[in-house]
Structure formats: C-alpha cells, structure tokens
Structure 1
Amino acid sequence: MPVWALQDAKAKFSQLVRRAQSEGPQTISVRGEPAVVMLSVETYRRLQPNRRSFVEIVRSGPDTQLDLHREQTTVRDIEW
C-alpha cells in the first residue's frame, strides 16, 4: 500500500484521491508513522458489514403484526 507523507498528501490531494480510486487504499503518515488510510467509496462500502435498520429487524421478527398501541391513561393518580 503506497504511503504518503501528510505534507505531500495535502499538496497533491487530487492525485491522492485519483490513486485511491484507481489503485486502492492509500496510507497517509504523520511524522513517519501511518496515521490514516484513504479509500474509494466502492472499497469502503465493500468493507462495511450489511447492516439492517432497526425497523427492518423488527419487521423480520416472528410477529410482524405487532400492535404498538399505547394506552393513553395514566398509570397512577397524581396528587397536587
């Protein structure tokens, strides 16, 4: 994986982006130590797990006819 010094990455940002898209991940170092990796969106999405939304998870459960009606009455009397 190519390594770019932070100063070079800033000076040649457009080139860095193009290379991340065409050649794959690009490492950016700070003071000689790897700090971050630039990825194309395609690579990033491929690395992400397939996450379902909360609504999808609930809907895929055994009881898809779930009645979520909330009772509007108070649970207990409140003294003022």
Structure 2
Amino acid sequence: MKSKKTDRLPHDREWQLQEAKNRLSQVIKLAQHDGPQTITLRGKPSAVVVSFDEYRKLTVPRTGLAKFFKESPLRDVELDLSRSADISREVEL
C-alpha cells in the first residue's frame, strides 16, 4: 500500500488493482475505519472503495430549490419586492 498526494483527502489510501484484489478484506476494513481507498489501474486512479455509510451520504437526494423554500422557517415572511421608481441614484466615489 502506498500513499500519493493528489486531489484526494489526506486519509485516502492508494492500492494497485492486483494488491487490492489480494487484500480485499483489508481494503474494505480501511474504507470503513479510515476513509476512501483508491484503486489504481496502470498507475492511474480508477475506482474508490468507500464504506456503505459514506456511500449513502453521497447518494442521498438533495433538496430541490422549490422544496427548500417551502420548508424554510421564513416561508411566511412578507417581503417588499417592489422596485424604486427613482430614475437615478447619486453615488459618492
């Protein structure tokens, strides 16, 4: 197992495919306890093993904008969205 500095998090580990196959149990245990495990193919990152809990966090549907506003605690607040009728405003530079 070797670590490599790239765009991955500091706790990511990098495994060559053959080594990951030979040590799959260890790769899975490390994914569960230490974070994502990167598997390389011909020296390039090819796949990532993550714990099931992490996978669920990554795949939870995100709230849409309309639903977000409907569920907002400020949904009943009245806002004055009218635009000023002034032609111009003086700005001091």
Do they fold alike, i.e. is TM over 0.5?
Answer: yes
1:15-57 superposed Cα distances (whole Å, 9 cap, x missing partner): 0010000001100000100000001000000111337xxxxxx
Tell me, which stretches of 5 or more residues in structure 2 are unaligned? 1-11, 63-93
CA distance in 1, matches of 2:34, 2:60: 23
Aligned pair count? 51
Tell me, which stretches of 5 or more residues in structure 1 are unaligned? 52-80
Structure 1 stretches of at least 4 aligned residues deviating more than 3 Å after TM superposition: none
Provide the TM-score with structure 2 as the length reference.
0.52
Provide the TM-score with structure 1 as the length reference.
0.60
Counterpart position of 1:74: none
| Match among 53, 56, 59 for residue 45 of structure 1 | 56
Q: Which has the higher helix share?
A: 1
Structure 2 residue 20 is matched with structure 1 residue 9: yes
Q: Per the alignment, in what secondary structure is the counterpart of residue 50 of structure 1? A: coil
Query: Which fold has the larger relative contact order, with Cα–Cα distance below 8 Å and residues 6 or more apart in sequence?
Result: 1
RMSD of the alignment, in Å? 1.2
Counterpart position of 2:75: none
